[in-house]
Amino acid sequence: MTMTQPDSSSKGAASARIIVAGSAALTEGFALIGVETLPDATPAQLDELLADLWKRDQKALVFIEHGLARGAGPWLRRVRDDSGRIVVTEVPPLQAPRAYHPLVEDVVKSVLGPSALEES
């Protein structure tokens, strides 16, 4: 797993990490502003990252590209279900942001019915 990490020589120890995982096109902009990135991440690499964060008891905000969220591995599910230290959120696709819908929409529709999110 190849991650880019910001230069921390002038900073004190951070209490939480901010990490972006996804395509190189998505992560490039975040790397320019000093955010840790995992470019061209695979579901397996994301799971490895989350497992490492969990085992090291680290706090983190992890932004993942929508495709990675759909290929969820066991650590992504575990972090989402059990962790208050690691927050994972999705980033809409760069090429089609209006076509994006988060996984929570599926849950809402399954509980409240398929028309629950339709505009009236």
- Which pLDDT tens digit goes with each residue over 51-107? 999 999 999 999 998 888 877 789 998 998 886 899 998 887 777 667 666 666 776
Domains of the chain by start residue, with CATH: 17-112 (3.40.50.10580)
CB 38 within 8 A of CB 86: no
pLDDT at 90: 86
CB 68 within 8 A of CB 22: yes
- Which pLDDT tens digit goes with each residue over 28-50? 989 999 999 999 999 999 999 99
Q: Above 50 in pLDDT, residue 12?
A: no
What integer best gives the mean pLDDT of the chain?
Answer: 81
CA atoms within 13 A on the CB side of 100: 15
Residues of the chain by 3-state class (helix, strand, coil), percent to 5? 40, 20, 40
